[in-house]
Structure 1
């Protein structure tokens, strides 16, 4: 009897938390595709978070391997620095590096606003003023082409005052079968209400990679489960008979890190003089008094072991993460970057065995995938590795969405991959 009472108390205490999960689809009324846009193709942009460049072959994702063989495959796709989830998902849909679009990490400090942004803070995630650039769904909606999002970084915020016509607040409780059916339902709407751009996000491979490491059997299973879900989605969409194009990407790879010999907070950091932001592979120090930057930098350089120390002015140019790149003034005055597989760890909780965030030009395990297939793509094409900011022009070209704003990506993939 005592156990039953305890269980009831636990369920009653947990109840409100479960009740707060928001699974309702948002639909913005009074929007329609223009007659010209109704004639355009369709694109489903899919991200399998944490899907490393070699996972499909390593774990025998047979369906994905078959689809890439019928379309376009890249040697790999390089995430922007830092190779984290929020910066890179937003880079893919804006064609901008993190320093250009403002989401410089999953969690960061903005000295101008004197506020912290966190991917776990709903008030920040849903505040469009944090997001720069023009995401693909905003570009589409601006040109009277409807868009839908079954999750993507930025899709819950009115960016430039615009949300996708169809969208959801992020949650992980909606079953994959329901999500796939929702995509089909969208594509079966009347032409004037049917979205031509759909974003679709899958977190399970990333969760497994973090929790168990990239070499674990659980990660293998997550990859194979995702492969089955991709087949389910593609076969269900095929029943609509529409000319749908698929772009399958990810935000970053995954590395088995050194969990036994983590790096503590360096002794040279005086937290009364600096706001400390980040952790893991990248620690950023925001000086409360700029006079503290030079002496602290010198001390850190002397004691640095298994990590590199830079001032924002002297960051390596290829990272696009220095003073000249920092459009929103959010990058720290001093940056500490660990040598793989080392991580900074300031928490009492044990570090995750699988992590990401390193410079992808130095750590191949940070590379991810680009597979694309459908009527717009060439067949049996393999292209060299490229940066993820180059995806934006490809999707804009397929959908016939011109843009005049400047992006960091180039159009070289357009000619190489599209018919």
Structure 2
């Protein structure tokens, strides 16, 4: 059992400085231990780092540890029958203890040559060509999309920082007096669904509130803290997995910001990022080795994901919004949301229509640089127009350009169709075993090789590497529900009904 780690809170500035800076801790304050600690003496949740996994996919990672069951009905080779019948409430022994289905979700760069262990895991399991984040491609909107299966316009977290006109209040991601207020967080996170279904859940540092508007909380909760080593986090993951069955979480969520911080501080192709990738890859190796040592390879699914990608903005062209609006126009801006995009709220006395015309004219003269939208004209593919929290005017820069002012001056937040904004998905364990078995049985039988067809879920297969088509991150919620065997309790999402059937 790893010794308890004291997570000391401290202040931190905006994500452009904080989430990506070298400060020791974020300004998340420890929650009331009497409310969020486990009754078990094994884990003191507020003083132990659980599973901070590398957020990756071009610098951002997230680790979702989960235990859940599979319901499979498609035919498969005899060798996979044992896995196919391992359902949500089914017990399987690792030789010494009984386990329910377990999954860990992590993330990382795969093809830079610096993550050989993670790449090897992807070859033994399966990976997606890419995972598409929601717009805006920022940390908090996408972590909550992964949790709820909802677009930002539906779950309400429309930026890392934003103003809500309906409540005349502002959401600040790094201030718990603001961001822990349940009313900000719409939708039902997977840990709430799992809890309703009677499962034990655990949350380490995943962006979001410790309690939802309905009053639901994870069974175990650890608030975010910076500078917690991956060794300590790995020890906590394994401590949770080693708990007695009656106390062991079936859904474990965790978040690790080191790659995000490195990428923002020095750029996605910097030496610091390369060093961090190696550090994270060692964690992936040690995690895999720890599971193998416990004979859990047929019990634990390890899934690596990230919330968004990142692009190099070390030499961007700066677009000065105060120059475009003029001094009087910029002073009329009462609230500014998001970055590198800008959501503009003008004060009530301002001629908002006039300034919209000014911005539209400037965008027409600089089509290669930026676009200007209102919620009514927002491209439908962004799924970012149907929320009162979205600013009346939104200015979105194209790749290579950054919106700023003469007084201010990041490298993500751009169009979610841009390849560099894409996230990753890699799976290894029972889920990937079944998906590969189904594909193999279909492709070697006399039936049509429909799973070999890219339109049927697979991008390509080579060197025993199974590559799924790219998909939206709002599909992850339904995957977890399916693996946990609690689809009947799942809430409605923006995910695609039956999306995972082709793989399960």
TM-score using structure 1 length:
0.84
Structure 1: distance between partners of 2:302 and 2:213:
25
- Going from structure 1 to structure 2, the CA distance change for 1:409 and 1:254 (only over 3 Å counts) comes to same
- 2:384 aligned with 1:321: yes
Residue 200 of structure 1: CA displacement?
A: 2.1
Residue 103 of structure 1: CA displacement?
A: 0.5
Give aligned pairs, total. Answer: 384
Q: Secondary structure at the match of 1:120?
A: coil
Structure 2: distance between partners of 1:146 and 1:347:
51
Q: Secondary structure at the match of 2:110?
A: helix
- Going from structure 1 to structure 2, the CA distance change for 1:364 and 1:174 (only over 3 Å counts) comes to same
Structure 2: distance between partners of 1:182 and 1:23:
18
Paired residues for 1:202-217 under 5 Å: 202-217=256-271
1:255 aligned partner: 311
Question: Is contact 2:133–2:421 with CA below 8 Å preserved after alignment?
Answer: yes
Structure 2: distance between partners of 1:19 and 1:366:
25
Q: Which whole-Å deviations, capped at 9, do the CAs of 1:278-325 have from their partners, x for residues lacking one?
A: 353211112443983322211111223321111111011100111xx2
Residue 135 of structure 1: CA displacement?
A: 0.7
Structure 2: distance between partners of 1:19 and 1:228:
25
TM-score using structure 2 length:
0.71
Match of 2:419 among 338, 353, 364: 364
Q: Secondary structure at the match of 1:162?
A: coil
Residue 157 of structure 1: CA displacement?
A: 3.6
Structure 2: distance between partners of 1:285 and 1:330:
11
- 2:104 aligned with 1:44: yes
- 2:286 aligned with 1:223: no
- Going from structure 1 to structure 2, the CA distance change for 1:137 and 1:218 (only over 3 Å counts) comes to same
- Going from structure 1 to structure 2, the CA distance change for 1:206 and 1:112 (only over 3 Å counts) comes to same
Residue 109 of structure 1: CA displacement?
A: 0.6
Match of 2:492 among 400, 406, 411: 406
Paired residues for 1:9-408 under 5 Å: 26-29=36-39, 37=89, 39=91, 40-46=100-106, 48=107, 51=108, 55-242=109-296, 243-257=299-313, 259=315, 261-266=317-322, 267-268=324-325, 270-271=329-330, 273-289=332-348, 292-304=351-363, 305=366, 306-322=369-385, 325-326=386-387, 329-346=388-405, 348=407, 350=409, 355-361=411-417, 363-377=418-432, 378-379=435-436, 380-402=465-487, 403-408=489-494
Question: Is contact 2:27–2:174 with CA below 8 Å preserved after alignment?
Answer: no
Question: Is contact 1:107–1:118 with CA below 8 Å preserved after alignment?
Answer: yes
Structure 1, unaligned stretches of length 5 or more? 1-16
Structure 2: distance between partners of 1:138 and 1:408:
17
Question: Is contact 2:370–2:397 with CA below 8 Å preserved after alignment?
Answer: yes
- Going from structure 1 to structure 2, the CA distance change for 1:65 and 1:261 (only over 3 Å counts) comes to same
Structure 2, unaligned stretches of length 5 or more? 1-23, 41-66, 68-87, 92-99, 437-464
- Going from structure 1 to structure 2, the CA distance change for 1:38 and 1:172 (only over 3 Å counts) comes to farther
Structure 1: distance between partners of 2:243 and 2:182:
28
Q: Secondary structure at the match of 1:277?
A: strand
Structure 2: distance between partners of 1:319 and 1:178:
38
Question: Is contact 2:316–2:402 with CA below 8 Å preserved after alignment?
Answer: no
Question: Is contact 1:188–1:240 with CA below 8 Å preserved after alignment?
Answer: no
Question: Is contact 2:333–2:347 with CA below 8 Å preserved after alignment?
Answer: yes
Structure 2: distance between partners of 1:28 and 1:185:
13
Question: Is contact 2:201–2:220 with CA below 8 Å preserved after alignment?
Answer: yes
Structure 2: distance between partners of 1:158 and 1:347:
40
- Going from structure 1 to structure 2, the CA distance change for 1:390 and 1:19 (only over 3 Å counts) comes to closer
- Going from structure 1 to structure 2, the CA distance change for 1:153 and 1:279 (only over 3 Å counts) comes to closer
**Which sits farther off after the overlay, 101-110 or 288-297?**
288-297
1:8 aligned partner: none
